[in-house]
Structure 1
Amino acid sequence: MGKRRDYYRDPNAPKPNSLVPGGSALVVDARGAILMQRRSDSGNWSLPGGVMEIGETLEQCVIRETKEETGLDIEITGLLGIYTDPEHVIEYADGEVRQEFNTTFHGRVCGGRVAVSGESTEVRFIQPDELAELPVHATVRLRLQHHSERRARPYLG
């Protein structure tokens, strides 16, 4: 196993032992391409984001994590949804087994330059039709689907 393994609707998933609030950013450029990073821990393409630290808001967390992981400064422009499905479990090599807790915000680039971090092997804006051919976890695909539906209200689930 790598550093991380995702389970989704898998009856053989290990039992969670932690719940950690985290967030991610769905950032779109002028051409409609979505900012994605290829995770070094799983090899999957994902939205930039991470977990909250004491002393920050979730919005500050997402802005900080996006900067750390992609080199880009963003501002939060809205809420795509809150994703807390207990059937999404993430197992880490250190024994932590986390139930998903992710709030995904819409964001807009306001500075910086695309750069790869230690958490990613590649960072780029990807057209939605390209994503069908790339390794993307089912839970991230759900967020991308909600984005493509241009929902009037945030997803709660």
Structure 2
Amino acid sequence: MTEMDAGPEFVWDDQVAVRSVHFHDPDAPAATIVTPSVFVAVQDGQGRFLLVQRRDSGSWEFPGGRMDVGETAIEAAVRETAEESGMRVRITGLVGLFSDPAFVIQPVAGEIRQPFVVCFQGVAEWGSPRPDEIETTDAGWFEPAQVEAMTLEPGACRWIHHAIAGSSEPHLE
């Protein structure tokens, strides 16, 4: 199965389903809301990427999440990275905008979301990777070849692959 025809992934937290992720799944429910989200492709001086492991699925992704009311996208990106990985970052650029309507997140309760993702580039200012033990169970620096072999969060594969490719132009969809 490729990332483009993945069915739902049911995510568990202590044996209780918390959400299902649908990526190009013809049986996905229709989204009821678009949710602004931010993720950060943080690189260190050796070209490695910072990734966090999600508690609910065990999959890996860049640190990030939903924006809060009253904050800018950059503020949300810095906050989410610090919360999930223990790293303070400075935003340096844009990997891309990702708004695929066939990427749907269905929580057990609440509105079915279509994420609108802004993926930034960033550099570490201080800190050492560490999980928050709430949303993330691991965090670390990984070589691009290592990242390609990891189990990545559905949907996140796209912005991770674009960041690794290192295009000088942001991806726009």
- Shorter-chain TM-score above 0.5: yes
Indicate whether 1:130 and 2:146 are aligned: yes
Question: Do residues 38 (structure 1) and 53 (structure 2) align?
Answer: yes
- Displacement of 1:61: 0.3
Q: Name the SS of the counterpart of 1:16 in structure 2.
A: coil
Does the 8 Å contact 1:4/1:42 carry over to 2? no
Give the drift of 1:42.
1.7
1:62-105 deviation line (CA, Å, top 9, x unaligned): 00010000011001000000011001001112243111211000
Which residue is equivalent to 1:64? 79
Using CA pairs under 8 Å that are at least 6 residues apart, name the structure with larger relative contact order, 1 or 2: 1
Q: Distance in 2 between matches of 1:49 and 1:60?
A: 11
Q: Percent identity?
A: 32
TM (norm. structure 2) is 0.85
Find out whether 1:75 has 2:90 as its counterpart. yes
1:109 correspondence with 2:120: no
Amino acid in structure 1 at the alignment position of 2:53? R
Corresponding residue SS for 1:103: strand
Paired residue total? 157
**Residue pair 2:43, 2:123 contacting (<8 A) in 1 also:** yes
Aligned counterparts of 1:145 and 1:138: Cα–Cα separation in 2: 12
Task: Give the deviation of 1:114 after TM superposition.
Answer: 2.0
Contact 2:62-2:160 at 8 Å conserved across structures: no
Q: CA deviation at 1:150?
A: 2.0
Do the aligned partners of 1:36 and 1:125 also contact (CA within 8 Å) in 2? yes
Once the two structures are superposed, residues 125-148 of structure 1 have per-residue CA deviations (whole angstroms, 9 ceiling, x without a partner) of 111111233211342222222123
Are positions 1:152 and 2:156 aligned together? Answer: no
TM-score, normalised by the number of residues in structure 1: 0.93
